[in-house]
Structure 1
Amino acid sequence: MNREKISRIAHTDHPIAAPLDDDAVRELLDRGIPHGDARVLDLGCGGGEWLLRAMAAHPHLRAEGVDISEASLTHAHDAAVGLGVQDRLVLHQQDAADFTSPHLFDLVLCVGSTHAFGGLLPTLAAARKHLAPGGRVLVGDGFWEREPSPEAVEMLGDFDDLATTTDRVIAEGWTPVHGHVSTRQELDAYEWAWTGSLAAWALDHPDDPGSAQALEAATTHRSEWLRVYRETWGFVSLVLRSS
């Protein structure tokens, strides 16, 4: 079973691929979308959940999503058809770092996908190229709540603490106009959903050739989360405007 299928199964019960509950997602979109007929871009959109929710809430909003996964984009298209919003959604199968567009966007999202650009600050630099005057960026990334172990750094990356992360963003010419630090409940709910969905699928499909691999992935991820980074890793989502 490839990594893409594992991820798709794991997010069955938590389609937002980040530790955010529905209220937080709604608030972030409300703060990020400047007007009802905005043009929105999601760099690393996965199954398109952020865009689908934005279009459902704003009947004149137009959206574009970029992702390398054909399966994820197919899911996004099918879900858009189910919601009746497919005529307002354009999907691009390509590396988000290589995406170009003839027009600019009122909101650019990249939540949980900054690895596609090599980190938070390169992500913001890429987003700025797509941003219309007066537009906003919604970005979500990890940070260290306390000193991590070398194993945690190797596993997740070399993040900063929240204050330093915010300072670095501001130093790059951005002003935070809204932010959300994921709560322990959101962080735990995301990890339990991720590992639980994968384990449940494996138990429900014992004859599938990928069942053992899925169960092993769920077990490994759960152990890494609980033993290596649960007490040290946090997640922040920021709505930013160019200073």
Structure 2
Amino acid sequence: MDLDRSHVVREGDLRILNPFDAGKLATLGRAIRLRPGMSLLDLCCGKGELLCTWAREHGISGTGVDISTAFTAAARERAADLGVADRVRFVHGDAATYVPAEPVDVAACVGATWIGGGVPGTLEILERALRSGGMLLVGEPYWRRTPPDEATVQGCYATSPEDFHDLPGLVELFQECGFDLVEMVLADQDSWDRYAAAHWLNLSRWLDDNPDDDLAPRFRVELTEDPVRHVRYVREYLGWGVFALRRR
């Protein structure tokens, strides 16, 4: 069980694997009022930047789970670099089925609600790990603007307009699932650009070094098509944010 190699190449040396920058990640940690001694579970943790930096800045402890051996290895290195390896650990495994030994104060799934087949199912997965009165963090896309045609829908990696809600609709969905929205930090066009454009540079340099690799033709097409897709569709129509929720 592992993540497809193409994801590892695309992410390259990125530490945050979604359209957040370090400043927004720090803002989120402050906004949810983390305190020393709190525990956090991060499902689909990627390279562990959220857990590692919050352990350093706020004194929390926790566990990250990810299907990628490359990402969990990078997360362990990051924990060592930041001096928090004694407070965080990273598990290679299926985030959808992982249950911690003890309930946690914060349970997060930032940008991977596919593990539960969407937001409602992912909230159920997260809540089974949460102590009474704890907080969930969910990262999810939403429509900034209503897509005017099928080309826009597909350009934003959707199969239909119903794949994403607009922002009010997403907040209402949280409420329908029985949760209050208590904080949120949203990506902006600049943080989208930083995430998307970093992929292009990673692919370009990888293609220089690996012109005969089996992935090279696929990445050549992606490097040609994705910048146009991003500036025409994604940065204009697709929002993204992390939402903090508490059970009513």
TM over 0.5: yes
Counterpart in the other structure of 1:216: 221
Deviations 1:206-237 (A, max 9, x none): 55625554343333332332344332111121
Deviations 1:122-157 (A, max 9, x none): 111211111112211111100111222334445235
SS at match of 2:108: strand
* Equivalent residues in 2 for 1:108-187, closer than 5 Å: 108-148=107-147, 149-154=149-154, 155-156=157-158, 158-187=163-192
Please state how far the C-alpha of 1:120 moved relative to its aligned partner.
Answer: 1.6
Higher relative contact order (CA 8 A, sep 6+): 1
Percent of matched pairs sharing the same residue:
28
RMSD over equivalenced CA pairs, Å: 2.2
Please state how far the C-alpha of 1:87 moved relative to its aligned partner.
Answer: 2.0
After superposition, the Cα gap between the structure-2 partners of 1:227 and 1:132, relative to the gap in structure 1 and judged at 3 Å, is same
User: Which amino acid counterpart does residue 47 of structure 1 have in structure 2?
Assistant: K
Where structure 1 has 5 or more consecutive residues not aligned to the other structure, the ranges are: none
8 Å Cα contact 1:13/1:193 also seen in 2: no
Find the aligned partners of 1:207 and 1:106 in 2 and give their Cα distance.
47
1:19 aligns with 2:24: no
Find the aligned partners of 1:71 and 1:153 in 2 and give their Cα distance.
31
* Equivalent residues in 2 for 1:1-243, closer than 5 Å: 4-12=4-12, 14-59=14-59, 61-148=60-147, 149-154=149-154, 155-156=157-158, 158-203=163-208, 205-207=209-211, 209=213, 210-243=215-248
Aligned residues, how many? 240
SS at match of 1:239: strand
Find the aligned partners of 1:231 and 1:88 in 2 and give their Cα distance.
40
Find the aligned partners of 1:4 and 1:79 in 2 and give their Cα distance.
22
Deviations 1:168-210 (A, max 9, x none): 101211111111222121222221122222223323x155625
8 Å Cα contact 1:31/1:239 also seen in 2: no
Where structure 2 has 5 or more consecutive residues not aligned to the other structure, the ranges are: none
Normalised by the size of structure 1, how large is the TM-score? 0.88
Deviations 1:23-76 (A, max 9, x none): 2110111223532111111010111111111112134x2110111111111111
After superposition, the Cα gap between the structure-2 partners of 1:82 and 1:180, relative to the gap in structure 1 and judged at 3 Å, is closer
8 Å Cα contact 1:202/1:212 also seen in 2: no
Find the aligned partners of 1:167 and 1:206 in 2 and give their Cα distance.
47
